[in-house]
Amino acid sequence: MNVRQSVLGEVAVRSGQHLTGVDIGSLIRRLILFDRVIVKSFRLREAPILVRAFGKAGFIDLLNLGLLKFSCEFTSIVYDLKRDGVRHIPLDHFSFATVDAANREADLKSELVALQSISGLKNPERASIEEAIWNSLVRPPETYAKDLLAQVDSDIRANTPVLKCAIMERLKAELRSYWAANWGHSNTGGGGAKSCLPRQEYAGRDLWTLS
Q: What is the pTM of this model?
A: 0.68
What domain count does the chain have?
A: 2
Q: How far apart are CA 157 and CA 2, in angstroms?
A: 30
Residues 122 and 170 in one domain: no
Domain that holds residue 196: 86-101+143-209
- More confident position, 85 or 45: 45
Q: Is the pLDDT of residue 106 over 90?
A: yes
In the chain, % of residues over pLDDT 70: 82
Could you tell me the end-to-end alpha-carbon distance of the chain, in angstroms, rounded to an integer? 42
Order across the sheet with 6-9: list the strands.
6-9, 36-40, 68-71
Domain annotation covers residue 1: no
Residues 57 and 12 in one domain: yes
How do residues 23-48 score in pLDDT, each as one tens digit?
Answer: 999 999 999 999 999 999 999 999 99
Domain annotation covers residue 172: yes
How do residues 159-189 score in pLDDT, each as one tens digit?
Answer: 667 777 877 888 888 888 878 777 765 444 4
Q: Is the pLDDT of residue 72 over 50?
A: yes
For residue 24, how many C-alpha atoms fall within 13 Å in the half-sphere facing its CB? 12
pLDDT for the residue 61: 97
